[in-house]
Amino acid sequence: MANLDFKFLKEKYGTPLYIYDVNHLKKNMTGYLDYFKSNVFETEVLFASKAFCVKEMLRLVKAYNMSLDVVSIGELYTAIAVDFPMDKIYFHGNNKSISDLEFALNNNVGTIVVDNLMELVALDEITNRLNKKCNIIIRLNLGVEAHTHKFIVTAHVDSKFGVSYGSNDYNDMLDVLKNSKNINFKGFHSHIGSQIFDLDAFTAALEKMLGICKSFDKPLVLNIGGGFGVHYTDEDKPIPFDVVSKTLVDTCEKALKANNVKIEKLCIEPGRSIVAEAGYTLYTIGFTKKTPNKEYYFIDGGMTDNIRPALYQAKYDCDIVGKENELKNHIVTIAGKCCESGDLIIENHPLPEAKSGDLLVTYTTGAYGYSMSSNYNKALTPAVVFVEDGKDKLVCRRQSYDELLEREI
């Protein structure tokens, strides 16, 4: 843990508080940028902004010359607010509205990731009407689906994302492209899941995509998505950046050679693995309570700042600040303050005895915490602080009660 003075930060900013270790963010970005490289084709690393989309984070991504994946106009709007280079933005989504697409084109978004046939038809019409050129890649459903520790190659044909290779819709899309004046087809995209530890799932997807490349004359752009796993608890064994990067590049280089195909560029779009482990959430413990079978420590946040445990039983690790090395002789459930029984952040975790007012820190909360936060029970969205070399910087103010009511008429 790098130089984070939690007690000081609590005094200065209050709790709950999202804290990011900037050096760790930078190390993670550099980890991909340094190793995801090839002499045979171009490479590009995109940050999947949905994992943590605030202006200061996007400024950092921009400073590192990385590209950006956005899945909504809200995320695109945030990127525009920090003058993110538009040519480095990929716009995803399975149900972009006509006005979403118009907004993206009018702002010269670099690449639109087209999800389905109807979207392509709509986009073709819009590019003609606005007289705008547009680069696209098509999101494929490759039938490779990864579930954290396992992956399956099936005809998982019913995903809401992407088009199945060889399907009628796919063939119709190729026809639309043939006749389109303004759409420039660049290649394919696939994203097989999240929090994946099995590199074979990625190489299987990549090999499928490379096989598809054979039927095209021009070298394509291939984007194999994100989803690289991180360490939440000791059950998780993430693969280091250099291994992930080199494995993917090597697989691709070998397959290209074997099949005598060329590609223009290989892209990855990690979100979680860039921000998760660099983030901490700091809470104050209020009351504690024993029930016949459980002991609870109650915190001043909960599912409103971290919905992942309630949403998909996500596991986290934690400590009581200043008591990290004390005997952990209580088996505790950390519960939030929302009116919802499922509002538990961590269940049955060994911790030392807590006093009211102690600080609790949860680790690896940098991804999908802030970005999935809510105002349920009219909780205020916590502040976000970046800390670098011992210096703290507020990057997002805590919401106020007036702001909470600002839009209500």
Ligand X SMILES: *Cc1c(COP(=O)(O)O)cnc(C)c1O
Residues that bind ligand X (CB under 6 A): 48, 50-51, 69, 92, 191, 194, 225-228, 269-273, 367
Nearest of 86, 85, 40, 42 to residue 64 by alpha carbon: 85
The nearer residue to ligand X, 72 or 377, going by C-beta atoms, is 72
Burial 318-340 (b: 16+ CB within 10 A, else e): bbbbebeeeebeeebbbbbbbee
CB of 383 to ligand X, least distance (A): 23
Closest CA to 149 of 247, 235, 234, 225: 235
Q: Is 372 or 404 the residue whose CB approaches ligand X more closely? A: 372
Minimum distance from CB of 297 to ligand X (Å)? 29
Task: Give the residue from 3, 2, 5 showing the smallest Cα distance to 322.
Answer: 5
Q: How long is the chain? A: 409
- CA quadruple 143, 147, 148, 151: dihedral sign: negative
E strand or H helix at 35: helix 22-35
Helix (H, G, I), strand (E, B) or coil at 232: coil
Q: State the catalytic residues.
A: 339
Residue 296's DSSP bridge partners are: 289, 333
Taking residue 166's Cβ as centre, other Cβ atoms within 10 Å add up to 9
Nearest distance, CB of residue 296 and ligand X, angstroms: 31
Task: Kindly report the number of other CB atoms within 10 A of residue 47's CB atom.
Answer: 28
Whose Cβ is closer to ligand X: residue 61's or residue 334's? 61
Q: At its nearest, how many Å lie between ligand X and the CB of residue 197?
A: 12
Q: Among residues 187 and 227, whose Cβ is nearest to ligand X?
A: 227
Cα dihedral 141, 143, 146, 151 in deg (nearest 10): -160
Nearer Cβ to ligand X, position 48 or 338?
A: 48
Contact 357, 397 (CB under 8 A): no
In the complex, least distance from residue 235 CB atom to ligand X, rounded to whole angstroms: 17
Q: Which is nearer to ligand X, 69 or 277 (CB)?
A: 69
CA distance readout (Å), 313 to 152, 289, 306, 366: 21, 22, 11, 17
Q: How far is the CB of 47 from ligand X (least distance, A)?
A: 9
